[in-house]
Amino acid sequence: MKKILCIGEALIDMICVDKGKSLSEGNNFLKKAGGAPTNVAAAVAALGGQVELAAKVGIDPFGKHLIDVMQSFGVSTKWMLQDEHYFTTFAFVSLMENGERDFYFNRGADGQLSRQEVEGIDLDEFSIIHFGSATGFLPGPLQAAYAGLMQKALQQNIFISFDPNYRHLLIKNDTQNFVDQSLNFVESCHFFKVSDEEAMLLTGKPTLEDAVHSLFQKTNAVFTITLGKDGTMLCLNNKTVIVPSIAVSPVDTTGAGDAFVGAVLYQLREKSLTEIRSMDEEAWKAIVANANKAGARTCEYMGAMEAFKHLSNDIFK
C-alpha cells in the first residue's frame, strides 16, 4: 500500500475559553494539537490510510503531546523531528465579544524543519505528498524545505497536493509574498483546495467567477473551492460543477477543510499519477462528494482532533 506524506506545521493551539475575553484578559485556555498538515495527516489515518507527517517540534511536553496524538491516530511519526534549540510552536486565539479573533503566534520549532532534513525522506514509499502552507511560507528553513521537496516530487512524478491555508492574522504583514509562493505551488501541483476568499486573494480578482477563470489560466491542476454549507465547486478541464454537501448541525467548523483534503487524498492514494490524470468528471465528483461528507461530519464535534476520532471510511457508503 502506497503512503501519503504530509509536510508542514505541527503546533499547539491554545484556545481561550473565557467567553468574550481578549488574550490579555483571559485566564483559562484549552490545549489542542493543531496545524493544517497535522490535521490532514490525522484525517487520512482516521479514514484508514497509511500516512507520515514531516514536521518539527521541540523537546518539551508539548512536542511530546503532538507526537503522542499523531501516534494515537496511527500516523507514522518517523519524520516528526525534535529540535533541542527551539520550543514547540504555539498559536493563542480568543473570540472576543465583537466577533473578532484576538490572535498571537509564538513561532518555534515548526519553522526549523530544513531542506537538508527532508532530503532524507525516501519518496519511493509515497504516492502523494501534501503541502499545507499556513506557516510554510513564513521566513525560515521550512520555506526552503517546501521548495526542495516539491522539486524532488516533480522529478519523481509523485502526485502533489496543496492547500494554501491563508490566515489573515498570521500573514497580514506580508500578503504578497504569501500570494507569490502560493501561486508557485498552484502552477506546479496536481490538486489544490482553496476557499472562495483564497481564490480571490491569489488571483486579485473581485468575484469568484473571475478568480476561477484566472486560476484555469494559471494551472493544469484539478482544484476545488469550498463553499461551506453550499458544497464544493469542482474545477477541471476549464469546467466547473457544484458538488453538494450533506446537512449537519454544526458545532465547530475547525478542521473541516483539512478533513475534506484528507478524504480526497485517502481516495486517491492507491492510484498512479497517470491514473489520476485520466479520471473523468464523474469520478472526481464522487471523490469530492465523499470528501464533503468528511468535512461536514467534522463540524459536528468540538475541535478537529476530537472530530477525527469519529471519522472512518464508513461515511463513504
152 backbone dihedrals φ, ψ, rounded to 5°: -65, -40
Residue 132 host element (H or E): strand 126-132
Residue 49 host element (H or E): none
Mean residue pLDDT of the chain comes to 94
Amino acid at site 48: G
- So what's the pLDDT on residue 1? 67
**Do the Cβ atoms of 40 and 6 come closer than 8 Å?**
yes
- So what's the pLDDT on residue 251? 87
The pLDDT tens digits for 178-234 are 999 999 999 999 999 999 999 999 999 999 999 999 999 999 999 999 998 899 999
Of the pLDDT bands very low, low, confident and very high (cuts 50, 70, 90), residue 250 is: confident
For the domain spanning 3-22+30-308, the CATH number is 3.40.1190.20
The pLDDT tens digits for 91-129 are 999 988 776 778 999 999 999 999 999 999 999 999 999
pTM: 0.96
CA 90 to chain centre: 17
**Do the Cβ atoms of 214 and 205 come closer than 8 Å?**
yes
Of the pLDDT bands very low, low, confident and very high (cuts 50, 70, 90), residue 316 is: confident
In the numeric block, the cell 465547486 is attached to 233
Residues 6+ apart with CB under 8 A from 116: none
- CB atoms inside a 10 Å sphere around CB 307: 28
- CB atoms inside a 10 Å sphere around CB 68: 11
Strands of the sheet with 80-83, listed across from one edge: 80-83, 51-58, 3-8, 126-132, 159-163, 191-195, 222-226, 232-236, 239-243
- So what's the pLDDT on residue 98? 76
- Spell out a b/e string for 218-248, using b for 16 or more CB atoms within 10 Å of the CB, else e: ebebbbbbbbbeebbbbbbeeebeebebeee
- So what's the pLDDT on residue 282? 97
Query: DSSP code of 76?
Result: B
In the numeric block, the cell 446537512 is attached to 247
**How is 189-216 classified by DSSP, letter by letter?**
-SEEEEEHHHHHHHHT-SSHHHHHHHHH
Alpha-carbon distances of 77 from 47, 67, 152, 166, 264, rounded to whole Å: 17, 7, 21, 26, 22
Residue 107 buriedness (CB in 10 A; 0-12 / 13-18 / 19+) = buried
